[in-house]
Amino acid sequence: MLNSMARLPLHTLPAFRTLARLQNLRAAAEQLHLTHSAVSQQLRLLEEQIGFRLFDRNGRRIVLNAAGSAFLRAVEPALAQLDEGLRAASAAASGSDDETLRVTSLPSFAQRWLLPRMGAWRDRHPQIALDLHASQQIVDLERDGYHAALRTGSGPWRGMVAERLLDSPWIVVGTPSVARRLLGAPAESLAHEPLLGDGPMWQRWFMLSGLKVRIKPVAEFNDAGMMLQAAEQDLGLALAREVLAADALQRGRLVRLSTVALVDPDAYPYWLVYPPSLSEWPPLVALRTWLREELDRAAAPLNRPETAPADPTGSRSPAASAAARRRRAR
């Protein structure tokens, strides 16, 4: 058994961490830019030094065993802390007090919500630069050198802290010209409009509105930001996340066309995900606080209660509500 930390070959730990995550020697070798035999040799050295096996061999496959799982839980935060310490030491050596916070996000959230608020972040934290990476793919934060991720999904993620930021329902939006044309129309009229987005989601939204109709969207998108751009260009009605449409609604580029909102089990909440070792790191603490404040500020105008009665289908456009108030004032 291991008697002293002096016997622990520290240089083998990155290879162990990668191998434990992938549980495939060839894949681990490719990710580490090492040969297959070099990774095997590092694993063999580690197991010989500590005196017990970390993986069970099953033919060509290797599977992390109970001892390996326990060791991985200790190794991951330790290596992350070393990585962060190296970055801090590098900044100190260069004589710079500025810090960079590397964040990865879905393109839709980055484009529609985060980028318009980058100026507010800079004014609040001029010494912390945001290095923003937008991708549809979930990246490995520690492997790829990111401090945090803004994600949607069921969560939580193994080995990471996952803070739930918000649940954002799906709402129907269109341009002001569409809102004027649909003023007072029944909800089923929306089914005859050009629809943008996911067909099954639209189907569920109409069922929630009490309508059973056949839906065939004129366009689908793999990015919600592109869909909302199409809606702003009057190419159709969009069924979109409220948080992504928030700025366009507040500025009048889009109008919410119904009070019916779809809270779908597949429409997962937004999370802030980060390594446990960074929980108290000041730049990340600043990001967490700022995100919550900005999300609350953006949600406030959207949460104002409707004062006009809903139509018989349960939907009412904001334009219709305004018209009703004007009629009552006459």
pLDDT digits (tens, 9 = 90+) for 61-99: 788 999 998 998 888 777 777 776 666 565 555 544 558
Local confidence band at 267 (pLDDT 50, 70, 90 cut-offs): low
Greater confidence (138 vs 71) lies with 71
Q: What is the mean pLDDT of residues 47-64?
A: 86
Q: What is the mean pLDDT of residues 286-310?
A: 71
Q: What is the mean pLDDT of residues 131-150?
A: 86
Burial of residue 63 (number of CB atoms within 10 Å: 0-12, 13-18, 19+):
exposed
C-beta of residue 287 within 8 angstroms of C-beta of residue 148: yes
Per-residue pLDDT for 196 more than 90? yes
- Report the top-level CATH class of 5-90: mainly alpha
Q: What is the pTM of this model?
A: 0.65
> Residue ranges of the domains in the chain?
5-90, 98-165+269-301, 170-264
Name the range with the highest mean pLDDT among 96-100, 137-141, 316-320. Answer: 137-141
Count Cα atoms within 13 angstroms, Cβ side, for 153: 16
Q: Do β-strands 195-196 and 237-241 pair in parallel, antiparallel, or remain unpaired? A: parallel
Per-residue pLDDT for 305 more than 90? no
Residue 27's pLDDT is: 85
Same fold, 5-90 and 170-264: no
| 3-class SS string, the chain | CCCCHHHCCHHHHHHHHHHHHHCCHHHHHHHHCCCHHHHHHHHHHHHHHHCCCCEEEECCEEEECHHHHHHHHHHHHHHHHHHHHHHHHHHHHCCCCCEEEEEEECHHHHHHHHHHHHHHHHHHCCCEEEEEEECCCCCCHHHHCCCEEEEECCCCCCCCEEEEEECCCEEEEECHHHHHHCCCCCHHHHHHCCEECCHHHHHHHHHHCCCCCCCCCCECCCCHHHHHHHHHCCCCEEEEEHHHHHHHHHHCCCEECCCCCECCCCCCCEEEEECHHHCCCHHHHHHHHHHHHHHHHHHCHHHCCCCCCCCCCCCCCHHHHHHHHHHHHC
Query: What percent of the chain shows pLDDT beyond 90?
Result: 38
Local confidence band at 324 (pLDDT 50, 70, 90 cut-offs): very low
CATH number for the region 98-165+269-301 comes to 3.40.190.10
Per-residue pLDDT for 314 more than 50? no
Query: What percent of the chain shows pLDDT beyond 70?
Result: 81
Name the range with the highest mean pLDDT among 85-94, 218-227, 308-317. Answer: 218-227
Residue 302's pLDDT is: 65
Name the range with the highest mean pLDDT among 43-57, 80-94, 230-244. Answer: 230-244
Per-residue pLDDT for 111 more than 80? yes
- Whole-number average pLDDT of the chain: 81
CATH number for the region 170-264 comes to 3.40.190.10
